[in-house]
Amino acid sequence: MKVLVTGAAGFIGMHVATQLLARGDEVVGIDNLNDYYEVSLKKARLARLQEHPSFRFEALDVADRPALEREFERGGFTHVVHLAAQAGVRYSITHPHAYGQANLVGFLNVLEACRQQRVKHLVYASSSSVYGGNVRMPFREDDGVDHPVSLYAATKKANELMAHTYSHLYEMPTSGLRFFTVYGPWGRPDMALFKFTRAILAGEPIAIYNHGQMKRDFTYIDDIVVGVIGVLDRPPRPNPDFDSSLPDASTSWAPYQVLNIGNEHPVPLLEFVDALEAAIGKPAIRDLQPMQPGDVIATYADVARLSKAMGGFRPGVSVGEGVGRFVEWYRGYYAV
């Protein structure tokens, strides 16, 4: 394959590109290297990829349509993994326009470029946040997702709708992956594990929202990568059993699918903190705070459809093991 990975300097993007290169694919990575979090970390991730002779990087914003179209014309990509986006639930409350530009305009540009260049399969990042106000657990792909509680979630649902339109109109295979709380080495500094680790090591309090009464389906990065590449290798086909009178939003008469990718084992937030304290060897100063706007109480993925699509996929890394690996990486990277 010749694969374009957007957001290649990001957390998931770097790990996906690394594995694609390891198995012999040619990879082109693009990223705008914005300053949403420390750019030095993004450049360090990128430096690891640039050591590989089958990797090429272009500093490019997917919202820049002419530049993106030129890259597609030059690249001759067979497959695209679209991970570039403005991330973060809380940030979407204070910086809404960044989400419209990156997640809506940028995604439209990617869809159009894939159509024009006849890409064989587009895999793109959706999010567990699309489940919004749902309380029935575990979350299934055919659950209703029409009540988002953040703009970030709304843009990810919009991506799924936009992708379906292109799958229907142009028979372009698209797969949306609803990621559930991804963590691990080289992770994002705006996420809880990173912030908690930094604070505990510095002897500072950690803010625990909703007084710790939350659960998350923490999913280790290696499991995510297995899922992403497994789906990339298996483009969806039109579903011959699709019933338009009882439509399932996660599948279609078109070559389209939406799949959960999570750990299937939601962990109470306070237990997650316990695991982090054990890995660091130091207790946290716990600052229990009320629920924050845009947050949800719990996430829990049903991954039966992903497992069926991949012939038996199941996540394999426990939270205790995964947190330990992250802390080991963090100490090494920051020389703590």
Does an H or E element contain 260, and which? strand 256-261
Query: Which amino acids are annotated catalytic?
Result: 152
Residue 227: C-alpha distances to residues 22, 177, 300, 319 (Å): 16, 9, 17, 18
Quickly list DSSP for 154-187. Answer: HHHHHHHHHHHHHHHHH---EEEEEE--EESTT-
Q: What is the mean pLDDT of residues 120-134?
A: 95
Contacts of 264 (CB under 8 A, 6+ apart): 138, 217, 300, 301, 302, 303, 314, 315
Query: Which of 31, 129, 147 is CA-nearest to residue 85?
Result: 31
Over residues 138-194, the pLDDT tens digits come to 999 999 999 999 999 999 999 999 999 999 999 999 999 999 999 999 999 999 999
What pLDDT is attached to residue 157?
97
pLDDT exceeds cutoff 90 at 38:
yes
pLDDT exceeds cutoff 90 at 326:
yes
Does an H or E element contain 125, and which? strand 121-127
Over residues 93-119, the pLDDT tens digits come to 899 999 999 999 999 999 999 999 999
Burial 140-154 (b: 16+ CB within 10 A, else e): bbebebeebbbbbbb
Neighbour-count burial of 293, counting CB atoms closer than 10 A to its CB (0-12 exposed, 13-18 middle, 19+ buried)? exposed
Neighbour-count burial of 112, counting CB atoms closer than 10 A to its CB (0-12 exposed, 13-18 middle, 19+ buried)? middle
Q: Name residue 197's amino acid.
A: T
What pLDDT is attached to residue 253?
97
Q: What is the pLDDT confidence band of residue 199, given thresholds at 50, 70 and 90?
A: very high
Q: What is the pLDDT confidence band of residue 313, given thresholds at 50, 70 and 90?
A: confident
What would the two tokens of residue 182 be? 């991804």
pLDDT exceeds cutoff 90 at 316:
no
Residue 266: C-alpha distances to residues 137, 215, 259, 317, 320 (Å): 10, 6, 18, 13, 13
**Domains of the chain from N-terminus onward:** 2-180+221-263+303-315 (3.40.50.720)
Rounded Cα gap, residues 73 and 152, in angstroms: 30
Over residues 226-269, the pLDDT tens digits come to 999 999 999 999 999 999 998 998 999 999 999 999 999 999 99
